[in-house]
């Protein structure tokens, strides 16, 4: 099992970040590179939770999203072609006195089969840098969206 931890400071508010995380409409992949539109399926959505399948490049997972706490979004993997056990994502938001927000992300990857176990080990070592870069792009794309720039184009 691999646990990856990232932290970024953003000009977006917690509400803006939660709104982006829970926007399951077309173009999601422009904010979240590992969520290709062709994999996206919303099974159920309530006011503070959703059941969504998403993924990219042959990897998919079904996630239960819970944003009932305004300072935290917990995404628990309920099914996947690779991930099982305690897999998921937790985003925690802390408002700073200067108006910015600290975003703390914990990603847990527990492989449920050989391919998942191998990829989980890679993600926990050299792959964490790639995930960190993707997270930094996500933060910038959400900031651009919040500042009226529409969805930022990925470079």
Question: Please, are residues 65 and 77 in contact by the beta-carbon 8 Å criterion?
Answer: no
Q: What is the pLDDT of residue 78?
A: 98
Q: What is the pLDDT of residue 149?
A: 54
Instruction: Select the more confidently predicted residue: 60 or 120.
Output: 60
Instruction: Select the more confidently predicted residue: 50 or 123.
Output: 50
What residue ranges do the domains of the chain occupy? Answer: 2-146
Indicate if the pLDDT at residue 155 is higher than 60.
Answer: no
Return d(Cα 2, Cα 85) in angstroms, integer. Answer: 11
Instruction: Select the more confidently predicted residue: 1 or 80.
Output: 80
Q: What is the pLDDT of residue 125?
A: 80
Indicate if the pLDDT at residue 61 is higher than 80.
Answer: yes
Portion of the chain with pLDDT greater than 70, in percent: 95
Map tokens 């979240």 to a residue. 32
Residues 87-120 have pLDDT tens digits of 999 999 999 999 999 999 999 999 999 999 999 8
Instruction: Select the more confidently predicted residue: 100 or 122.
Output: 100
Structure tokens at 67: 């944003």
Q: Which CATH superfamily is domain 2-146 in?
A: START domain (3.30.530.20)
Question: Please, are residues 71 and 93 in contact by the beta-carbon 8 Å criterion?
Answer: yes
Look at the alpha carbons of 61, 130, 150, 8 in this order and tell me if their dihedral is positive or negative: positive
Q: How confident is the model at residue 27 (pLDDT cuts 50, 70, 90)?
A: confident
């Amino acid at each position: 099992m691999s646990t990856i931890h990232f932290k970024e400071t953003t000009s977006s508010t917690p509400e803006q970040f939660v709104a982006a995380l829970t926007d399951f409409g077309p173009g999601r992949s422009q904010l979240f590179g590992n969520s290709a539109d062709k994999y996206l399926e919303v099974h159920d959505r309530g006011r503070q939770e959703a059941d969504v399948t998403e993924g990219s490049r042959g990897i998919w997972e079904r996630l239960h999203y819970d944003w009932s706490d305004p300072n935290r979004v917990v995404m628990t993997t309920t099914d996947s072609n690779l991930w099982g056990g305690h897999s998921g994502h937790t985003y925690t938001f802390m408002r700073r006195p200067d108006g910015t927000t600290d975003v703390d992300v914990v990603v847990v990857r527990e492989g449920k089969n050989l391919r998942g176990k191998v990829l989980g080990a890679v993600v926990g070592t050299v792959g964490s840098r790639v995930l960190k870069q993707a997270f930094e792009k996500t933060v910038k794309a959400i900031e651009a969206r919040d500042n009226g720039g529409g969805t930022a184009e990925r470079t």
